[in-house]
Amino acid sequence: MTTGTSAVCDLGPVGLLEGREMVRVTPYGWPPLLIYRVDGEIYATADTCTHATASLSEGELEGHTIVCPVHWAEFDIRTGRALCFPATQSLETYVVSVDDGRICVRRKGSDEQ
């Protein structure tokens, strides 16, 4: 694992998602993250709902939509966009790469969606 000052964070082996759709990780120096595998693609978002500060890892994943367990706010895991009330603020998303069988993420630059 890398420290929080690094631009890239190693979240662990791809096998971490084996048999699961999503896994909460808490890398040192980073906020809690949620990684997902949907249709063979891996995505990463913040784990904390922007509305009620609940852990999204306790919610339901429906396709590319994560549903908050508290007030049922929904977010698109590809873009972070809030899809319904009560959430109005987007969820932070991260750029994911798989390097030598390990899941790595980095924060998006201002020019990335």
Q: What is the pTM of this model?
A: 0.90
44 neighbors 11 (Cβ within 8 angstroms): yes
pLDDT, residue 92, reads 96
- 8-56 per-position pLDDT tens digit: 999 999 999 999 999 999 999 999 999 999 999 999 999 999 999 899 9
Q: Residue 111: what pLDDT?
A: 66
The backbone torsions φ and ψ at residue 55, rounded to the nearest 5 degrees and listed phi first, read -80, 120
Q: CA geometry: angle at 20 spanning 67 and 84, to 5°?
A: 10
Confidence at residue 108, expressed as pLDDT on a 0 to 100 scale: 83
Question: How far apart, in Å, are the Cα atoms of 25 and each of 45, 92, 111, 112?
Answer: 11, 15, 26, 23
Listed residue (46, 47, 40) closest to 21, CA to CA = 40
The predicted pLDDT at position 5 comes to 52
Confidence of residue 2 (pLDDT cuts 50, 70, 90): very low
pLDDT in tens, 53-96: 899 999 999 999 999 999 999 999 999 999 999 999 999 999 99
Which residue's structure tokens are 């390990």?
A: 102
Tell me the C-alpha to C-alpha distance, in Å, between residue 2 and each of 30, 34, 85. 10, 17, 36
Q: State the pLDDT confidence band at 113, using cuts at 50, 70 and 90.
A: low
